[in-house]
Structure 1
């Protein structure tokens, strides 16, 4: 289901139970439209994601690691000044709409008690996050400033009075006795019930209205059926569905016939659902320059490879240039300036006539010398071309690997890939940064950790998401008897099973991870090689992430996104 008013109702209930009475300890803004607010409550830290992303707006407790920018944005600094150390009173929904209010108890400049409200509007491209003073509804700050010429309905700038989005004048389904439902359904054909529900009640997406209409068709008492169906949102059983490689989520299992996975909390469910999509969007924001660089390098090297292949083909024909030169030397009198070609008996081929192209500016001997020069050039160039062709193909393989890593990267991995490209000389490094007029050295990069998974039998599995992680994981880990896996003959992640004798089930699960985090993610029956990590070798001068090996075993698996989420730490 989409993140509609019904799902937000369940979210508000879960967040209120988890966070109410907690203290705000940290605030970060790792991405332009998203804030992480850490709330400590009942001896637990809850990282609350408040996202006003146009495509992925939501509020949830998240476990996905995030990378903070070196300099906090102004909005994050403003929230820190006003909210860190304050008490979160409650989380509430506005009339079953996609609006959540986080009421926060704090003090003003004079030390008097005051209540501030963090209001998250999850409205697609109109999504926004406000900090509002409750007593006068004044907007203190917001994550997206919207000029008056772009929104004539209400003012979305600091200092303005907060006004809710235009009301739809629909019934709140959680604040009604549903007596109005029966006559509405009687006036409609069954095929139109879903539309009638949407037009009458607040917060119903098309999918949710369709499911309620389906429940009403099978229920004897429409009013009681609607109440029972709606009660599920007060007792959420978070469920993720997979249908034809696509995913959908719901607050409870309303489609038991579909392939599904259950989660303990709605936050865990949203992490699983949005991780791939939202992570890709975040990576695109952070790594757009890297993506362009990789595409340009691939295009340049692929073009170079074609030219080298053509030169190699020409060099294979070098002997024909020598033959033409010999024939022209033997019969120079047959050629005169101005001729475009000449036919000469080829004594290398039973005296068959051979047509030889000529440069009309030259006579027979001069044209012969031209062919001899081409012959000598191509003969000497062949070894060089083969060497260049090998190097170019290595560059193409390398950038295909980087491209695959960017496609499956998390935001924390992007910095590692950037550092690698700088170390390999493809990017320039900014060695100094300004701090209050002084020049200081840039801090040393700290390598991010590989993703960790737990096999069904409890064995730890690590997955490298970039070449620097892969090198550390595969070549520098202490136990060289651990089992190493990699998709066969395609770019992909290095995978390590932290066991020297894993079960067949663990090998299969690790192989599915290796296939999922590779260029074969959308393929079936993917070959994955595995062997002890001690058998890996890294040639001198090889690029990061490149290893050679022999004596491997091979298993065939199909990537399983549901399994990836199940095994994730």
Structure 2
């Protein structure tokens, strides 16, 4: 299910109960399309995420940590200017559309009360967040500026008059008393056709909700069924449904959706669980900037180089053939006449079978023989050089592959250390301006707890991995890593963990690796004292011996359960 109008209704109800009359204490814009506003209400702090992301637009209370930029954006500064310390009057949904209006009151510099509105429009790629004077309807700023070339119907620019998105001329199912559904139910007995008709009549119904409504009307064929169905959105029982690795969320269990259900106490907790991986991955890619581009380019270059080196090695392995031809020519010099371009002679290395040898008609017979000996020597030297280059290129590919995996698995706050590492290794140019800035705080490995309470640490980049394995962990602790697959270093802080703890830690190692979407992943485990870093090795690279191996399947639900202390 998407964040449709009916789910928006439920979310507005939840937020009003928690936030109304609260005061804004903090405003941040950690990502390009997302703002986090912290409300102080009922002696608690509530970080509220307002997202205008083209794919993940939503409004919710969030407990997912975020990396706040050192320099605030212009939009964040404008929000702070007008809303810092403002009191929330109410949260209102426009009809049953995906537009949520936060109404605020605040005294300005002159002591006069200003009425302000923060409109969050959840409309896919047209999603936006608009701050305006609620009295004059003049826009103060927007998270995305939309000019006349982009939208002829309305301007979304500072100074323009705010116009709400065009109406769909549909009925609001929460307030409609016309009972238009009854006529549709009579005319369209087929459930899918009825669902399509209900979507045409009523505002804010996506495919899943309209199908569930159609089913509910068929199952409860009475005058109260319609109102009973929508009353459930005011008393939600949030669930996430998972079937074959595909998940969806609903405000309450839908009979028409099949799969494993996982319940949550609030809609916001549900959205945190649903979007944690999806939105986090997108945020990482946004913040990574040119990291992904640089690493992918270097990977492509090294894989091309590897292909060429293998071709060179294959041709160089024919060196013995040059030596044989040189020796045969030396043995039968008296049969070679100057000016010949080919000659067929017996090969005494192959039961005297005839071998055809190409000759140059510009040089003497002995010089032809020497030419083959020179080719042999050159090819022999090339084998040694190419073998060295092959080893170095494979190491380079493994390292870059590992970095790419770390970027894909990283939290936004882990990226600074990855960027710093790539600068040290010479893959990125050092940004002198950023070097002069205060050095970012060192990030820490992620902490998990096994079912029996044993602490497990997971490194999320090479800096964390080296620090965790070589400095933090005790020699008797257990170290885990996916076998010959890029991934995180995992440490069980116990010398004799139970079988269940080993399996859980191995599942973490498989999940935080390139094999996250695979099954039957081999994970090696060994005491930390058997793990060593070779001299001159790249960050994150270690060698080990005496390991045992477990075969596990990555399990996102288990990973989330192990996060809880």
TM-score range, shorter chain: over 0.9
Asked whether the equivalents of residues 473 and 528 of structure 2 are also in contact (C-alpha less than 8 Å), the reply is: no
**Aligned mates of 1:359, 1:49 — CA distance in 2:** 78
Give the match for residue 489 of structure 1.
Answer: 484
Equivalent residue runs for 1:220-299 within 5 Å: 220-221=221-222, 223-255=223-255, 257-299=258-300
Partner SS state of residue 82, structure 2: helix
Equivalent residue runs for 1:300-315 within 5 Å: 300-315=301-316
**Aligned mates of 1:337, 1:213 — CA distance in 2:** 96
Equivalent residue runs for 1:350-389 within 5 Å: 350-389=351-390
**Aligned mates of 1:359, 1:249 — CA distance in 2:** 77
Q: CA 1:219 to 1:338, structure 2 compared with 1: closer, same or farther past 3 Å? A: farther
Q: CA deviation at 1:337?
A: 5.9
Give the match for residue 141 of structure 1.
Answer: 141
Equivalent residue runs for 1:323-402 within 5 Å: 323-335=324-336, 339-402=340-403
Give the match for residue 161 of structure 2.
Answer: 161
- TM-score using structure 1 length: 0.93
**Aligned mates of 1:338, 1:120 — CA distance in 2:** 88
**Stretch of structure 1 that moved more, 149-158 or 557-566:** 557-566
Give the match for residue 461 of structure 1.
Answer: 456
Q: CA 1:44 to 1:496, structure 2 compared with 1: closer, same or farther past 3 Å? A: farther
User: Do structure 1's residue 20 and structure 2's residue 15 form an aligned pair?
Assistant: no
Deviation per CA, 1:24-59, whole angstroms, max 9, x where unpaired? 121111111111112222332222111111111111
**Aligned mates of 1:345, 1:456 — CA distance in 2:** 76
**Stretch of structure 1 that moved more, 104-113 or 136-145:** 104-113
**Aligned mates of 1:521, 1:266 — CA distance in 2:** 27
Deviation per CA, 1:240-268, whole angstroms, max 9, x where unpaired? 11111111111112248521212222222
Give the match for residue 437 of structure 1.
Answer: none
Deviation per CA, 1:497-532, whole angstroms, max 9, x where unpaired? 333333333322222222122121121121112233
Partner SS state of residue 323, structure 2: helix
Structure 2: stretches of 5+ with no match in the other structure: none
Structure 1: stretches of 5+ with no match in the other structure: 434-439
Q: CA 1:507 to 1:226, structure 2 compared with 1: closer, same or farther past 3 Å? A: farther
RMSD: 2.1
**Aligned mates of 2:362, 2:25 — CA distance in 1:** 85
Q: CA deviation at 1:555?
A: 1.7
Give the match for residue 436 of structure 1.
Answer: none
Q: CA deviation at 1:21?
A: 2.1
Equivalent residue runs for 1:419-568 within 5 Å: 419-432=420-433, 441-568=436-563
Asked whether the equivalents of residues 291 and 403 of structure 1 are also in contact (C-alpha less than 8 Å), the reply is: yes
Q: CA deviation at 1:85?
A: 1.9
The size of the alignment, in residue pairs, is: 562
Asked whether the equivalents of residues 321 and 375 of structure 1 are also in contact (C-alpha less than 8 Å), the reply is: yes
Q: CA deviation at 1:382?
A: 3.1
**Aligned mates of 1:360, 1:123 — CA distance in 2:** 79
**Aligned mates of 2:155, 2:306 — CA distance in 1:** 57
**Aligned mates of 2:44, 2:453 — CA distance in 1:** 25
**Aligned mates of 1:178, 1:333 — CA distance in 2:** 112
Deviation per CA, 1:81-110, whole angstroms, max 9, x where unpaired? 111122222222111210111112212232
Q: CA deviation at 1:237?
A: 1.9
Give the match for residue 129 of structure 1.
Answer: 129
Q: CA deviation at 1:415?
A: 1.9
Q: CA deviation at 1:190?
A: 2.4
Partner SS state of residue 306, structure 2: helix
**Aligned mates of 1:154, 1:161 — CA distance in 2:** 9
Equivalent residue runs for 1:32-71 within 5 Å: 32-71=32-71
Give the match for residue 76 of structure 1.
Answer: 76
**Aligned mates of 1:157, 1:306 — CA distance in 2:** 53
Q: CA deviation at 1:140?
A: 0.8
